Amino acid sequence: MIADMHCDTISEILSHREKGEKISLRENNLHIDLKRMQKSGYLVQNFALFVEKSRVYDPWQQVCRLAEVYKEELSANQDLIAPALNGADIWENHKRGLMSALLTVEEGAVCKGDIGRLETLYDMGVRMLTLTWNYPNELGFPNLNKEEHQQTPDTRRGLTHRGLEFVERMEELGMIPDVSHLSDAGFFDVLRVAKKPFVASHTNARSICPCVRNMTDEMIKSLGERGGVMGLNFYANFLEEKLDGVYNPGTLEAVVRHAKHIVKVGGIEILGLGSDFDGIKTNEALPGAQSMGKLAEALLQSGFHESELDKILYGNVMRVYGECL
């Protein structure tokens, strides 16, 4: 079974429709569709409503548009997938022969610092919020900062006061903070204020690939000690560093290197999947939902036991959902 904490497929579907193209979640040429998910044995897919705030007039209006696309697609495919609000829902859907969809939002700026809007997202079914994307917002600062053209770890600017309040309210509601994209200082702010496990839904190890979007060993260790989970991101440039201009197709070997290192530093309970499908350039070794069997086999061949593989593919994520949602 597969539990993937992050994809941008809903945003991609809306983008294609705005260009006049007919496209659905059931079957398409994107990284993810329901037919391929079903063949690969998916248990749950987190569907992010991703908003790039610099490209839209009103981030809140955009996230609501994306939520409508999500609802329409789930309504049209009730024979394959059903929404889930917590771990119990996911297992109940599985018993009924259905995959589950868990709704998330990528970019805390959609709330404009308004906790009332955070509560509205919860009422809409959102159960995970990525606090920042690659721009500063009302909640905090990222490492990859497009606004300031910064690509260095920000160890000084973390969560704002409002960001700290958001994390506290999210835990009260039963919504998981996602520290992917957040600055180094922001990660440790979440670690300080959060009382439950939290996640880095689509992030790798910085000591294996020195991209600031990845996490340091100290961060990995701290997340593991808190009981959180980080999802392996399949983006080639987050997996392996190449010289400028050198093509990076993506390899299974690189994914395995990150998996091995993350488990060595943070323990087997920390590792999950966060493909970033439909939000990244295609990884030639893992081009879509149909590739999960190849990933599982590569992890087994690298020395992970079956019981460890089950934790990586779905068990660790489901544990956090059981504890936090």
66-85 pLDDT, tens digit each = 999 999 999 999 999 999 99
| CA-wise closest residue to 46 among 156, 152, 125 | 125
DSSP of 123-177: HHTEEEEES--SS--SSB-BSEETTTTEES--SS--B-HHHHHHHHHHHHHT-EE
Residue 154's pLDDT is 85
| CA-wise closest residue to 26 among 73, 93, 65, 72 | 73
The distance of Cα 8 from the centroid of its chain, to the nearest Å, equals 9
The distance of Cα 169 from the centroid of its chain, to the nearest Å, equals 20
What average pLDDT does this structure show over 283-305? 97
143-163: per-residue pLDDT in tens? 877 666 667 898 899 999 999
pLDDT band, residue 241 (cuts 50/70/90): confident
Mean pLDDT, the chain, whole residue set: 96
Query: Could you give all domains of the chain from N- to C-terminal order, each with its CATH number?
Result: 2-324 (3.20.20.140)
9-60: per-residue pLDDT in tens? 999 999 999 999 999 999 999 999 999 999 999 999 999 999 998 898 999 9
Residue 147's pLDDT is 66
Residue 149's pLDDT is 61
Residue 266's pLDDT is 98
For residue 51, what are its two tokens? 């908003």
For residue 291, what are its two tokens? 């590739």
Question: Whole-angstrom Cα distance, residue 134 to residue 137?
Answer: 9
Q: Which residues of 206-243 are buried (b: 16+ CB within 10 A; e: fewer)?
A: bebbebbbbbbbebbebbbebbbbbbbbbbbbbbbeee
Q: Which residue has the tokens 């569709």?
A: 33
Residue 18's pLDDT is 94
Residue 150's pLDDT is 63
**Interior angle at CA 121, CA 76 and CA 234, nearest 5:** 70
Which range has the worst mean pLDDT, 19-28, 141-150, 212-221, 240-249? 141-150
